[in-house]
Amino acid sequence: MWDWSYAAEILPDLFRALRVTVVATLLGIAMAMVLGLVLAIGRRSRRRVARAPAAAFVEFVRSTPLLVQLYFIFFVLPDLGLTLSPLTAGVIGLGLHYSAYTSEVYRAGIEGVPRGQWEAATALNFSARRTWTSVVLPQAVPAVVPALGNYLIAMFKDTPLLSAITVVELLNTAQELGSQTFRYVEPITIVGVLFLLLSLVSALLIRRLEARLAFNR
Amino acid sequence: MTLVASVSNIVERLLPGALLTAELTVVGSLLAAALALAAGLSLTARAMPVRAAARIYVEFFRGTSMLVQLFWLFFALPAFGVELSPLQAGILALGLNIGAYGAEVVRGAVIAVPKGQAEAAIALNMSPGLRMRRIILPQAVVAMLPPFGNLLIELLKSTALVSLVTLSDLTFRAQLLRSSTGETLEIFSVVLVMYFVMAYAITLGVRGLERRVSRGLDVGGSWKTS
Amino acid sequence: MTLEAAEFTRRGLLKRTGALTVLTASGSLLSACGGDDAKPGESTLAAARRVGRMRVGFANEAPYGFANEAGELTGEAPEVARAVLKELGIKELEGVLTKFESLIPGLNARRFDIIAAGMFITPERCEQILFSDPDYVAPEAFAVKKGNPLGLQDYGSVADNAEVRLGVLAGAVEGDQAKAAGVGDSQVTRLPDPQSAIEGLRTGRIDALALTSISIRRLIETSGRGEVELAGPFVPVVDGKEQLGGGGYGFRKADKELRDAFNQKLDAMKQADALLPIVEPFGFTAEELKPAKQITAADLCKAA
């Protein structure tokens, strides 16, 4: 039922795939954090032109499956002229999908900044840009780091979906190994354990980051 | 073919898949609700082994990828002698995974019920079972519904994963249709809209339920005013 | 009163949910059983005869085994299987769609009782399941962009040019054949299904797609959109020997009785040339059927 020598044999292949998983996640979360902030600020804009599309985008992305969004980016865009490599398509898919969630997180953080801060900034004649960068964001963002961190962990667990658009990450490699040797137990179980470890390590790192930010404040 | 004709043709061909998606969502969420209740209550139990077992279940299924869980149930389990059909594996994976998240929601809602309620129940000589069933849970349910609504939508979206174990859900049928007609843009656009419609229906349903259940109660949901 | 009504709703909600859950979930879980017809102790063949129906695993790969527009199971392998099984007293086929790489695990997990997907008989696969004798042989071929800009003719030409990206189907033999011919691992992209593969070729994600010449011809016809053409066919050389692939039908190791009965009827039809009219509509010719007459599964199962 479980063959330790086979398990040891496939570890190198799986570790190689682990790198792809980690790279995809880090790039994806970077994109989600930047785009999410843009969306959050856009939703608070006084101009309807910025508010409506941002809100519609967030609502739509949150209500549809990531898998189908990935298929869209990977299969439909080429027909419209844009052919992306599997990894690029995957990172963009993850980034777009999670930006909808991070924008909500940022919104909560921004709304948590006391009104008085905004008023003081206006009184001091700060430009909109300075208000955001010097007053609001430095208070809003550290408060939501834990929530953002949760999405990092969630994104790790969504990377196996990238196997459906042929990215050679952990699950894809496990499948390939399984179909070559017809032994699925070892590859898939090891992959499951690796994800558990990734979750735990990420959770630890986030808690450290949280502590540091709290200390600085 | 005109766009309208083409789109309605696509919808017609995808409808059986949407039905299966709906079925998976309903049955999966019932299983998830049952597990969430069981595990969530266990997390608040006095006995340590009960709490520990529930905690292990929750951390395990929250900490691992649902797709990997699905693949494991479908591909690895047969080696241990248990062969699940794609449908069974799908429902189990959905229920176990979302149930773990739901357990935390249940736990949070139960411990949020004012302590006075439990104390009054004890003063009135109610047994723990009676206390939970008649006093605590009914009040906790109100706080549980909004997050559960979110989890329900997560579940709906997760049903798309079963297409990867060849279950003929909406996403799978979209892929099949694609391989025979090649109308990739139209097909995936229709699919996205269909999921959106289903998610919206769930949101409306949960909101309606929230309103009915919080009628006559002092607590009424969250800080939202509608 | 409002208060009572609301409380009743809450309590009722819990109770109703609980009952509904238990009924529906358990009902669905149980009824979602694989649909295995065999009674305990009954052989697969006897069970199929009794029920008059057999579950067939296929991978939606035209023209070998696929579901047509109406959703019916058809293709070279299912149609031949249909004819053979009819002779054995089994009139109905129930198609079970699986990914190609899941066909063997699926068979062993009893999701279906026969693989009719034109699966090549190879020594590795023979270790996992029993095969019938082959009913066709086919050389390999590439699908390449029109004009064959990279001049690819076989695995050797791919191995010679490290920039060439070759696409293969996950779980199919072409991946191993390429490796044996010296194609680097980084050059090979595994794709989940033929449709994605041909799209990958059209959009430039891969430079060539390797499949049997029959599959390539069919793919170019249905999904090529005039942008791709066939290169080859060629016979892959593995360990210095020419390896013509032969496709057959798969059975579980425990179902030897079924396999032998199937073989008997299949061989009779092969020798009587009764297969050609069945497979011609799918693009097969006598050229692919003739060599198969002399080959048995045992020949192909032997490690080279």
Q: Which residues of B touch A192 (CB under 8 A)?
A: 64-65, 68-69, 72
Query: Model's pTM, two decimal places?
Result: 0.84
CB contact B134 to C (< 8 Å): yes
Domain topology for B3-213: MetI-like fold (1.10.3720)
When divided into structural domains, chain A yields a total of: 1
Maximum average pLDDT range among A35-44, A91-100, B77-86: A91-100
Beta bridge partners of C73: C67
Q: Could C25 and B212 be called an inter-chain contact, meaning their C-beta atoms sit closer than 8 Å?
A: no
* List of chains touching A (3+ CB pairs within 8 A): B, C
Chain A residue nearest residue C108, CA to CA: A182
More confident residue, C29 or A158: A158
Query: What ipTM was estimated for this complex?
Result: 0.84
Residue A134 near chain C (CB below 8 Å): no
Give the three-class secondary structure for A185: helix
- Burial class, A127, CB count within 10 angstroms (exposed 0-12 / middle 13-18 / buried 19+): exposed
Q: Which residues in chain C are closer than 8 Å to A86, comparing Cβ atoms?
A: 205
Q: In A, which residues are within 8 Å of C199 by CB distance?
A: 75, 78
Contact C2 B87 (CB under 8 A): no
3 state DSSP class of A147:
helix
Residues of chain B with Cβ-Cβ distance to A157 below 8 Å are: 64-66, 68
For an interface test with C, the pick among A179, A183, A188 (most C C-beta atoms closer than 10 Å) comes out as A179
Cβ–Cβ of A78/C203 closer than 8 Å?
yes
C219 or B21: whose pLDDT is higher?
B21
Q: What is the pLDDT of residue C26?
A: 58
| Chain A residues whose beta carbon lies within 8 Å of the beta carbon of residue C190 | 166, 172, 176
Residues written for chain A: 217
Strands laid side by side in the C188-191 sheet: C188-191, C166-169, C208-212, C140-145, C228-234
Asked if B88's CB is within 8 angstroms of C10's CB, the reply is no
Yes or no, beta carbons of A159 and B65 under 8 Å apart: yes
CB contact under 8 A, A175 and C128: no
User: Which value, to the nearest 10 degrees, does the dihedral of the CA atoms of residues C36, C42, C46, C48 take?
Assistant: 0
For chain C, give every residue range classified as CATH 3.40.190.10.
44-137+244-301, 140-242
Alpha carbon A163 to chain centroid, angstroms: 16
CATH class assigned to C44-137+244-301: alpha beta
Phi, psi (deg, nearest 5) at residue C229:
-140, 170
Helix or strand holding residue A39 (H, E): helix A4-43
Task: Pick A171's closest partner by Cβ from B67, B174, B192.
Answer: B67
Asked if residue C248 lies in contact with residue C135, where contact means CB atoms within 8 angstroms, the answer is yes
DSSP conformational letter for C38: P
Task: Give the DSSP H/E element, type plus range, for residue C228.
Answer: strand C228-234
Tell me what the mean pLDDT of segment C282-295 comes to: 84
pLDDT for residue B5: 84
Of the listed ranges A186-190, B153-157, C109-113, the least confidently predicted one is C109-113
CA distance linking residue A65 with residue A137, whole number of Å? 30
Give the span between the Cα atoms of A29 and A149, in whole angstroms. Answer: 9
> How far apart are alpha carbons C105 and A177 in whole angstroms?
13
Q: What DSSP string describes chain B?
A: --HHHHHHHHHHHHHHHHHHHHHHHHHHHHHHHHHHHHHHHHHT-SSHHHHHHHHHHHHHHHHS-HHHHHHIIIIIGGGGT----HHHHHHHHHHHHHHHHHHHHHHHHHHHS-HHHHHHHHHTT--HHHIIIIIIHHHHHHHHHHHHHHHHHHHHHHGGGGGGGT--SHHHHHHHHHHHH--HHHHHHHHHHHHHHHHHHHHHHHHHHHHHHTTT-S--SSS---
Highest-scoring range by mean pLDDT, A84-93, A142-151, C190-199: A84-93
DSSP assignment, residue C39? Answer: P
pLDDT the model gives residue C32: 45
Residue B215 makes CB contacts below 8 A (sequence gap 6+) with C2, C5, C6, C9
Q: Residue A206: what pLDDT? A: 85
Report whether pLDDT(C115) > 90: yes
How many CB pairs lie under 8 A apart between chains A and B? 108
pLDDT confidence of residue C28: 55
- State the pLDDT confidence band at C9, using cuts at 50, 70 and 90: low
A112 interface with B at CB cutoff 8 Å = no
Residue type for position C82:
R
Identify the CA nearest to B156 among candidates B61, B13, B20: B20
C193-B185-B17 Cα angle (round to 5): 65
Asked whether the beta carbons of A48 and A66 are under 8 A apart, the reply is no
CA pair distance A118, A110, nearest whole angstrom: 11
Please write the tens of the pLDDT for every residue from B61-119: 988 899 999 988 988 888 787 878 888 999 999 999 999 999 998 998 888 888 888 88
Question: What's the pLDDT at C18?
Answer: 59
3-state secondary structure at position C56: strand
Do B138 and C99 make contact, defined as CB atoms within 8 angstroms? no
> To probe the interface with B, which of A3, A21, A66, A71 has the most B CB atoms within 10 Å?
A71
A64 in contact with C, Cβ within 8 Å: no
Give the domain range for residue A71: 4-216
CB contact under 8 A, A86 and C205: yes
User: Interface of chain B against chain A, CB under 8 Å?
Assistant: 60, 63-69, 71-72, 75-76, 79-80, 153, 156-161, 163-164, 171, 174-175, 178, 184-185, 188-189, 191-192, 195-196, 199-200
Evaluated on CA atoms A48, A54, A58, A64, the torsion sign reads positive
pLDDT for C5: 46
CB atoms within 10 A of CB A152: 22
Q: State phi, psi for B225 to the nearest 5 degrees.
A: -105, 5
Kindly list the domain boundaries of chain B, sorted by start residue: 3-213
Using CB atoms, pick whichever of B75, B88, B178 lies closest to residue C29. Answer: B88
The pLDDT of residue C12 is 59
Q: How much of chain C, in percent, has pLDDT values that exceed 90?
A: 18
Please report the pLDDT score of residue A95 as a whole number. Answer: 96
Which H or E run contains A209? helix A185-216
**Looking at residue C1, what is its pLDDT?**
43
Q: How far apart are CA B65 and CA B97, in angstroms?
A: 9
Residues of C with CB under 8 A from a CB of B: 2-3, 5-7, 9-11, 13-14, 17-18, 20-22, 24-25, 28-29, 32-35, 60, 67, 69, 97-99, 102, 105, 108-111, 193-195, 223, 225
φ, ψ (nearest 5 deg) of residue C228: -125, 160
In chain C, what residues touch A85 (CB-CB under 8 Å)?
A: 205
Query: Is B34:C22 a contact under the CB 8 Å cutoff?
Result: yes
Residues 6+ apart with CB under 8 A from C86: none
Q: Which helix (H) or strand (E) holds C54?
A: strand C53-58
CATH code of A69's domain: 1.10.3720.10
Strand spans (E) along C110-223 = 114-120, 130-131, 136-138, 140-145, 166-169, 188-191, 208-212
What are the pLDDT digits (tens) for B168-182? 899 988 888 887 777
CATH architecture type of domain C140-242: 3-Layer(aba) Sandwich (3.40)
Alpha-carbon distance of C211 to C193, in angstroms, equals 11
Residue of B14, B70, B71, B94 to mutate, interface with A, max A Cβ within 10 Å? B71
**What value does the mean pLDDT of chain A take?**
89
Structural contact between residues C120 and C144, judged by C-beta atoms closer than 8 angstroms:
no
Centre a 10 Å sphere on the Cβ of residue B4 and count the other Cβ atoms it contains.
Answer: 8
C195 at A interface, C-beta within 8 A: no
Q: Would you call A59 exposed, middle or buried from its count of C-beta atoms within 10 A (0-12, 13-18, 19+)? A: middle
